[in-house]
Chain A
């Protein structure tokens, strides 16, 4: 594979770094090395701020899935959940929580996500996300992007965020329409939401 370059920031790199973190944290460094060997990677560490060959993320995820004997969709979903729940990535959870005071509020903020991200990283190419209210507590999310895994990552993240807000939800990827996620909010205040302070303590 071609070496990483420093022009611009790609979601692929962020996904690869996250996948690496997820596999290392969940299955151990040995399994990640096995993934790298089987994927014939010349490196074992991905840099989130660098750029890698397009398609590398989907390819490495498929290798991971084959090695661990689970569907690649599950790998992406679990990684999405890991990103939100792992204390090492507390920043991801926090940035998402800025989206709204409650889970429904948060869902509505998803459409703003690319714009928000571009405030910090102007050349980041985030997927287009469109939300449609199907009923009082039913939503449809459309997420179109070049990496197939992105929708599943979003499913995993939404599941974890519902938990964070204390909301009881059914979040499912539509098997028939690969870019579609259906969310049913059963109880917005099922549990107490995890604590979220708008400002981090100083220092």
Chain B
């Protein structure tokens, strides 16, 4: 109505170049011409002479089966699924030409473009120069590259974060956990009201080693002790150096007094074996205070550590190289 212009006649070669996915049909639905790219969708099967409804399933407009129905009912846009080896969605628009008989459809892959290009091995020669297919493919690939790069960055940053966190929780001299890590571990168990045993260990005669053989010997002993303690426990236990020559071991699910006492005895025995630093013997031992979470009515880290301290003090008092279970249960109740 508002548009005026001359009707145009386009030679078949021009039609193929401008619309490489066109389909030209007789009024009865038989194909009389098809664009080269559309022919590739059907693996080169003969399209001329084939019937529209044998080639395509109409997805919309609903209920349409023949090409006549598609053109009449679709208004502008319709959607088809080719009955070909690869099921890709096609969308298009169509019209009856001036002779009132011939129907021209122009199709496109729409969002299935990437899959179609892959499946049919299409190149940019298969698309009209005005088609944005290449830009879409480019964009899909550029986006994937950027996403991949960001994912890599995230992984690397996460790795760095974990390493920093690990470092912040580690005692650099012994490689054991540090006070902060032990506090967090204990707090988590107390909050969850999970059962555990805790050994507080204080080295005996450490000061003598430090004084007589020097700090290097002291550091050596601490390193050896760290290694020994680490070997005595399970992976899920927390072994930490919480002060100069003070250590703590927190053992989730271990509450039996005899088991905890046996671990403490083993530790004392191992730590009392003489070590040698540059040929010089270093003799230390250990006192151990033991607490069990079931002995506390209200479980709090401060209560637990205070009780462990008292047990350790009692062990020291009873003579060095001893382990003492926090036995004064009434006194430990908070």
- Interfacial residues, chain A to chain B (CB-CB below 8 A): 45, 47-50, 91, 94-95, 98, 100-101, 116-117, 119-121, 197-202
Contact = CB atoms under 8 A, between A and B. Distances in A.
Contacts of B150: 49
B149 A48 contact: yes
Interface residues of B, number: 23
Nearest to B147: A120
- Secondary structure at the A interface, as helix, strand, loop or mixed, is loop
A121 B142 CA distance: 9
B269 interface: no
18 contacts: A45-B156, A48-B153, A49-B153, A91-B141, A95-B138, A95-B142, A95-B145, A98-B138, A101-B123, A101-B125, A116-B135, A116-B138, A198-B123, A198-B137, A199-B114, A199-B137, A201-B118, A202-B118
A47 B156 contact: yes
A21 to B, nearest CB: 13
B11 to A, nearest CB: 24
Nearest to A112: B135
B137 A98 contact: yes
Nearest to B121: A197
A115 to B, nearest CB: 10
A199 B123 CA distance: 9
Interface in B163-219: none
A119 B142 contact: yes
B117 interface: yes
A79 B142 CA distance: 21
B141 A98 contact: yes
A144 B115 CA distance: 38
Q: Enumerate the 10 nearest inter-chain pairs by beta-carbon distance, A residue then B residue, closest first.
A: A120-B142, A199-B118, A199-B117, A98-B138, A91-B145, A198-B117, A49-B153, A119-B139, A199-B114, A120-B146
